[in-house]
Structure 1
């Protein structure tokens, strides 16, 4: 699956693709949201959950960029 093909899917189909093809890499938790990072082929997918309602609010897909910074050990406070 390519990034372009993934981006054409609706929210439910994106989540199904993440479950079927995604490899879990990491998570990031704040007071407002929880994010899980997955890899599918040659791109990343970030599944964003509303922490209060425990529901998926957004699925972001990308190849590189600032969205990866929060998963870096350099960006985390210990």
Structure 2
């Protein structure tokens, strides 16, 4: 499955697929938020969490770009 097909799924199917098939890579903690990065097929999904409650705020899906840049140097993505 590619990123385009994943984006066509409804939100519940996206979450189920992420939890069933995604590979957790790393957490990134900021002042008021925590991010969890997952690899899923040939793309990434970033889950944004509230630092105080650990509740999910949002998710982003991407292959490259600024969102992935904040993790560079912290995780080896070359073998994914």
TM > 0.5 between the two? yes
1:54 CA drift (Å)? 1.4
Q: What residue ranges of structure 1 are gaps of 5+ in the alignment? A: none
1:42 CA drift (Å)? 0.7
Deviations 1:31-61 (A, max 9, x none): 1111111111110110111112211111100
Is the aligned partner of 1:64 residue 2:64?
A: yes
User: Could you tell which deviates more after superposition, 49-58 or 6-15?
Assistant: 6-15
Report the TM-score when normalising by structure 2: 0.80
Residue number in structure 2 paired with 1:51: 51
Secondary structure at the residue paired with 2:70? helix
Residue number in structure 1 paired with 2:8: 8
Report the TM-score when normalising by structure 1: 0.81
Residue number in structure 1 paired with 2:32: 32
